[in-house]
Amino acid sequence: MRDVNVLSIQRISAADRERIAAVDPRIRLTDAGGWFDGEIRATWPAFTAARYLAPDANGQGTRAERDRLLAEAEVILGGWPFPLDLRARAPKLKWFHQRPAGASNLLRGDLWGSDVTVTTSRGAGNTLAMAEYAIAGLLHFAKVLHRAAIDRDAGAFDHRAYRPLLVAGKTLCVIGAGGIGREVGRLGAALGMRVLGTRRQAAPGAPLPDGFARLAAPDALEALLAESDFVAVCCQWTPETTRLIDARRLAAMKPGAILVNVARGEILDEAAVADALQSGHLRGLVLDVYVGEFEHPPPSALWRDPRVLVTPHVSGASDQNRHGAIEVFCDNLRAYLDGRPMRNVIDWAVGY
């Protein structure tokens, strides 16, 4: 029985360390959470560093010490952001687990497309919190709550501008009925909405997720959009979904539709979305993500528009941490040691 060197470059709790070590006595866990903060600060955009690192976080150890940790690691548990040259510095690395769910987080680094097995926490994030955010965003514009801020600034109510919708009986389209999307659909159905959805691997005849009236393949998206009053984007960002919501698909939506994106900014063609807002085709737009969110603020044309609600990628936050990344990692660690297939292995060709 050989030892397996596991390196965590993601900050983890004492309880998490105990759970990982308890998987098997062969595990030799090194916790280097925060050690690479200085390198991240030097190699990532300043906007990213300011968003994800504490102001005084500059890492620990010398470069040689950090190189030694990486050179000895067979398994690495990482987060966001991460050292961009991990593969080059970790010659023994066999498997990297990314704590976040989005595979596209790794596009910047040298792990993408490499010979290293990479897994994510897809389906095990704070999916309920994100689903609640999506529903709250839809309700924000359905109930015309954005008018309250406009009227407050004007110092007078424009009563006739309040034209709220009854969401019960309306149709919600969930693009990407995975972990987040299924929760969005379930909550939407609980409010009386008819829920339609797409999924890349929608198996004909398979049981529908809770609350869904229909689940179709991505090529049926435009037909679903034509029926939908509300649209929630919850899919992975891949080459197939880049600018998925473009001018043609926006035109396919019902006039007055409300669009929410809790996935990745690159899934929307932002110029086309801005045009749809300008023409009045969209009633409201909710963005927890936008193109370049780790490098700069949102586009001013969208941020200034009262029909757009923009937040800084916080839909997964809540007073309860239900993130299951460590559980996924421990299950996969057991499978790795046993030589069994692991969960959520990224298919480089597919993109997640």
State the sign of the Cα–Cα–Cα–Cα dihedral 9, 13, 18, 20. negative
Give the CA radius of gyration of the chain: 22
Q: Hey, which residues does 28 pair with through a beta bridge?
A: 5
- Catalytic-labelled residue, pool 41, 97, 293, 323: 293
Tokens of 341: 């297939």
CA-to-CA distance for 30 and 47, rounded, in angstroms? 29
Q: Are 217 and 270 in contact (CB under 8 A)?
A: no
- Catalytic-labelled residue, pool 89, 146, 281, 313: 313
Residue 293: active-site member:
yes
Q: How many CA atoms lie within 13 A of 285 on its CB side?
A: 28
Beta strand extents in 179-311 (DSSP E only): 194-198, 212-216, 230-233, 257-261, 282-287, 308-310
**Amino acid making up residue 59:** G
Q: Are 110 and 85 in contact (CB under 8 A)?
A: yes
What is the CB neighbour count within 10 angstroms for residue 314? 11
Tokens of 250: 């926006």
What is the CB neighbour count within 10 angstroms for residue 116? 17
Residue 313: active-site member:
yes
CA-to-CA distance for 316 and 289, rounded, in angstroms? 12
- Catalytic-labelled residue, pool 264, 266, 283, 323: 264
User: Following CA atoms 17, 18, 24, 27 in sequence, which dihedral angle do they give, to the nearest 10 degrees?
Assistant: 30
Residue 159: active-site member:
no
CA-to-CA distance for 173 and 227, rounded, in angstroms? 8
Question: Looking at the annotation, which residues are catalytic?
Answer: 264, 293, 313
